[in-house]
Amino acid sequence: MARRIVKEIEVEAPLEQVWQSISSGSGFATWYVPHAIEPEPGGMVRTDFGPGGVREGVVLAADPPRRLVYGGFGAPGEPVYCYEFALAAAGGGQTAFRLVQNGFPDSERWDQEYDALDACWDLFLHNLRAYQRHFAGLPATLAMATTRPAGGDGWGRLIAALGVSARCSVGDRVVVDVPGVDLVEGVVDFLHPGRHLGVRTACGLRRFSAEGAQLCGVRVHQYRYGTPPLRPDAAACWQRWLDDRFA
């Protein structure tokens, strides 16, 4: 029997605006990872996880602007996932957003991945809400980097390398000065101790994650909204920093 992840949130934006966030490549790039997508049944989906690789699938169902289903991802020997996004207009110009991810085998082998992806969706859906609340309508550029840490305690090492207190809380102001990368000055807007730290700046979102060497390792997502876009070598700079610190 397969398990599934279910997430339900409300987004401070009208239905059509949120639909664009899940039915276009530029929309996905504002809160998740880059996509190429043809939002109609049988349409191609290509998801770019950066250093995590590229996966391809197909749109299984589409009912604009309320429902989109796509799936077919999975390397040989891995489960085939299916993603369903369902939207409904809510009061006050808000949108009810429901995500269902299917395809997790009900076995201990997949427990760690299930827990990690469950927490990752909390982060990415927070990104969606933050974008619509603070940066709606602005184009996004995105840099991603990841490495698999040597040794344990990737989270403790990540927080220490960022110069952020292990006792930080949502709402705290922080400064992250990483050599070779733009200075990060902002407020902690998302925190899952042991896994994810989110910082919102005046021009975007920075996400720092540690999932353990057997999963995604230590990761950085940097979203910049508006102009100027991210510098072309932003991903390479973050990658060098991660490799120097953790590989």
pLDDT digits (tens, 9 = 90+) for 110-148: 777 788 889 999 999 999 999 999 999 999 999 999 998
Whole-structure pTM value: 0.93
Among residues 159, 131, 145, 89, the alpha carbon closest in space to that of 224 is found at: 131
Among residues 156, 209, 160, 164, the alpha carbon closest in space to that of 184 is found at: 164
Q: How many angstroms separate the Cα of 246 from the Cα of each of 92, 154, 218?
A: 46, 8, 8
Higher pLDDT, 97 or 217: 97
Among residues 7, 16, 6, the alpha carbon closest in space to that of 132 is found at: 16
30-52 pLDDT, tens digit each: 999 999 999 999 999 999 988 77
Contact 11, 22 (CB under 8 A): no
Q: Which domains does the chain have, with CATH numbers?
A: 2-134 (3.30.530.20), 140-246 (3.30.530)
The secondary structure element, H or E, covering residue 86 is strand 81-89
Among residues 15, 21, 37, the alpha carbon closest in space to that of 140 is found at: 21
Q: Which residues pair with 198 in a beta bridge?
A: 190, 207
Instruction: State phi, psi for 198 to the nearest 5 degrees.
Output: -120, 135
Q: How many angstroms separate the Cα of 59 from the Cα of each of 6, 9, 53, 163, 196?
A: 19, 23, 20, 43, 30
For 24-28, 105-109, 157-161, 212-216, which range has the lowest pLDDT when averaged over its residues?
212-216
Summarize the confidence of residues 173-186 as an average pLDDT. Answer: 89
190-199 pLDDT, tens digit each: 999 999 999 9
